[in-house]
Structures are given as structure tokens and as C-alpha cells.
Amino acid sequence: CSDPCRIVLVESIPEGMVYEDNGTVNPSTFEAWRSLIGAAKSRVDMASFYWTLTNNDTRTQEATAAQGEEILAELRQLPQRGVSVRVAVSSPSAEQPWDDLQALEESGASVRQVDMRRLTRGVLHTKFWIVDETHVYLGSANMDWRSLTQVKELGAAVYNCSCLAKDLGKMFEAYWVLGVPDASIPSPWPANYSTPYNKETPLEVQLNGTDARVYLSAQSAPPALCAAGSVIDAASEFVHIAVMSYLPTMEFSHPRRYWPTVDDHLRKAAYERHVPFRLLVGCGPHAKAAMFPFLRSLAAMSDNETHYAVEVRLFTVPVTEAQAKIPYARVNHNKYMVTDKAAYIGEWRLTGPLPARCARLYGTAGGPSQATVQAQLQAVFQRDWSSKYSRDIRTVGQWETLCRPH
């Protein structure tokens, strides 16, 4: 790919969460979304789980919802500028509002509901934008005002990279086809949906002037996360992972099922190759009791006899009494992995795979340049790991005291 691709890590840092003066600072998700809307000339395609961009959606009166409301207003202006807007969204459940999407349709946008519950017994969990088949956003942030101001998120904005954008566009077109009434999953898929870029043959591209190899991975139910395993297996110097949740189980299966795939890759790396790994896991109201024995088990691999370099820390987002009343907020929702050889950005959780469709950006980059996505991602991880919001799991007594202080 000869495009002059530029990649920027973008974050949402919850209101009131302050790092030390020397902490890594990245552009905000809000800034990235606004820049993409402003750059749109002909078409914006968006894949999303759900939409709650206004106070009306959440029945709140939060001043911090203003950023989400501004994004919705600007998206509604796009058709008036001659920009085509298409939205593929997971079919909403009864409790999920439809007001934002109805407003988009009234402005001239096209919206299709993808009934993943019927097609795969799952959900469309993807969160990405494609602008003019040239620019991309992909990350953990939902189309939710809280994802801009009340939830910690991480994603990547990629500019002037039509090769990657068109490849991601194939995934969007698959969602779009599945969004027609009574759609069925083709078997096999037509050739025009296939991609030449994968783990074995990644897209060779320059990211920020540095040679890189990139591909998109899509989770499509149980055999998923093979890319995550290959990233861990290829590492020789370190593996650093930040996730919202960590459970080696099929979290939503009935009956319950054990799912140790990623856990096995981590233990294998530590045992067979003595690769140090650090695991930073979100600790908040969402935390499930079942998670902590598994985390302590991983941390227990490291002792004076084994010399395995295994560290596990819990990450909390500070919350005031007023903020605690905001539903589904104040959590560390970002999901990424960085090793000495690769960067992996997406919206997956280290729990058993959802029967869903998700997208992740996986890439490697050579050279010591600070512009590499690896260097950027490692700086984010190190900032969070060393911050006052991080606690070694071995020093935490009752996890409820840390994760659910209210």
C-alpha cells in the first residue's frame, strides 16, 4: 500500500480522572470523531452495538452528555452536505432506545438493524467508522455519550489509508447485507467479501512513516481470538494486556463452560519461554466475583522459586457520589495488547468469545521511532500501570472494597 497512512491513538479519559504531569496524553475520542465528520466529503459508514448519545437516552441531566449530543447533531447535518450516511447496528433489545437512530433516519441517513440474535445467537459488538473509503476509527468506544466523558476508552484513528479503509469496508458491506429483512448468512460468502490480508499475509504499509504490517481480525463466534493467541505466542520480550474483564470462561453460555484459550497462551509464554507479562484488568461495579480467583492464580505463578515474571494489577476509575448515579459509567472499558513485536487494538474482552461480529486492528511495526503504534500503545499502558489508579492484586484484600466502594 503506497498510501501515506497516519495512525493516532485516541482516548476517552473520564471526567475527574487526572494523571501526573508527565503522563501520556493522546487526542480525545471526541476530537477524533469530530475530525472525521469534518473531513467527510461523500460517505460515512458506521458499525455499532447501540446508540445513546443524548441525556434523553439515559434519562439523565448530565452536562457531560453535551459532547455526545454535539456528535449526533453533526452527524445529522451530513446528509444536508451531500454526504451519504449508513449505519449498521445490532438489533436493539427492548430496553435500548432507538431515538438517535430515528433522528438520523429523519435527517436522511440509512440505518439497518443486523439481527445477530437470530443469525448467530449473539450481537453485533463492533465499533468502527469508515469515512470516504479513506479514513477509519476503530476502538472500544460505543456510540454513547458516556464513552466520551464518563468511561475510559481507547481506539485508533487512521487517516489517508484507503487500503485499510477499503478492507474494513468489506466487513461493513457484510453487515449491510445481513441487515436486510430475513437475511441469512451466505455459505460460502461471495468472493468480493474476501480479503487477501490476514495473519500470514498482512497489509504492508507505512504508518507514520514507519514500515508496518497490518490486518483486521473479525471475531465470528467460538473459534475466535486466534489472533490474540498468535500475538502472545510470537512475543519474546514482553506481553502487556489491558482489558475490562478477564475470565477464562464462556461468560454468557448456559450451561457454564470453561474457556482457557487465552489463559493457556499466557501461562505457556511464562513457563516455556520465560516471557514477562503484565495484565491490567478493570475493577469496577461490573466486576464479577468469579474473575478474582483466576487473576490470583495467574499472579501466583510469580514467586522466588519459579522466577516467572507475571504481574497482575487492578485498575479503578475514580467516582464521586454524583457520578456513581450515572448508569453503566466510570469503568475502564479499553481493550488492547502490546508486545515487543505487535500492537493489538479492539473491543474484545478476555472472556469466552461472544457469538458476535467484532473488528480489531492488529499490526506490527519495525524501528525504534516513537511514531510506531507499539511505542504509543506501550506509553499508554505504562502510564496506567504506574498510576495511582492501579493496584497489585496481591495487595488487595477484599476486592469489593476496591471495585465497589459505594
- What CATH number did the domain enclosing 243 receive? 3.30.870.10
Of 100, 240, 333, 384, the catalytic one is: 333
Cis peptide before 186 (omega within 30 of 0): no
Span 64-73, average pLDDT: 98
- Asked whether the predicted pLDDT for residue 269 surpasses 50, the reply is yes
Q: What is the separation of C-alpha 7 from the centre of its chain, rounded to a whole number of angstroms?
A: 16
Q: Are 314 and 391 in contact (CB under 8 A)?
A: yes
Query: Helix, strand or coil for residue 276?
Result: coil
**Is-contact 143 51, C-beta < 8 A?**
yes
| pLDDT of the residue at 223 | 42
Q: Cis peptide before 255, with omega less than 30 degrees from 0?
A: yes
Query: Is residue 341 annotated as a catalytic residue, yes or no?
Result: no
pLDDT at 222: 36
Counting residues of the chain whose pLDDT is more than 70, the rounded percentage is 90
Residue-by-residue DSSP string for 326-393: STT-S-B--EEEEESS-EEEES--BSSPPSSBEEEEEEEE-SS-TTSHHHHHHHHHHHHHTSTTEEEG
Given the residues 3, 99, 132, 211, select the one marked as catalytic: 132
Give pLDDT tens digits for 271-295.
999 999 999 999 988 788 889 999 9
Q: How many CB atoms lie within 10 A of CB 304?
A: 5
User: Helix (H, G, I), strand (E, B), or coil: what is residue 197?
Assistant: coil
Tell me the average pLDDT across 224-250.
83
Q: Mark whether 265 is an active-site residue.
A: no
Distance of alpha carbon 19 from alpha carbon 27, whole angstroms: 15
Cα separation, 250 vs 16, whole angstroms = 34
Catalytic residue selected from 45, 57, 127, 240: 127
Q: What is the pLDDT of residues 139-153, one digit of tens each?
A: 999 999 999 999 999
Residue 14, amino acid: P
Per-residue pLDDT for 62 more than 50?
Answer: yes
Q: Which of 135, 240, 265, 335 is catalytic?
A: 335
pLDDT, position 120: 84
The secondary element (H helix, E strand) that includes residue 41 is none
**Active-site annotation holder among 57, 100, 125, 152:** 125
Distance separating alpha carbons of residues 373 and 211, to the nearest angstrom: 11
364-384 pLDDT, tens per residue?
A: 544 444 468 899 999 999 999
> Are 18 and 385 in contact, with CB atoms under 8 Å apart?
no
- What separation in angstroms does the CA of 145 have from each of 46, 69, 102, 110? 16, 7, 17, 21
Of the candidates 158, 131, 191, 353, the residue with the CA atom closest to the CA atom of residue 260: 353
Residue 345's nearest CA partner among 240, 247, 209, 221 is 240
> Residues 115, 170, 340, 341: which is the catalytic one?
340
The yes-or-no answer on residue 125 being catalytic is yes
**Average pLDDT of the residues of the chain:** 88
Residue span of the structural domain in which 281 resides: 4-403
- Total domains in the chain come to 1
Establish whether 388 is a catalytic residue: no
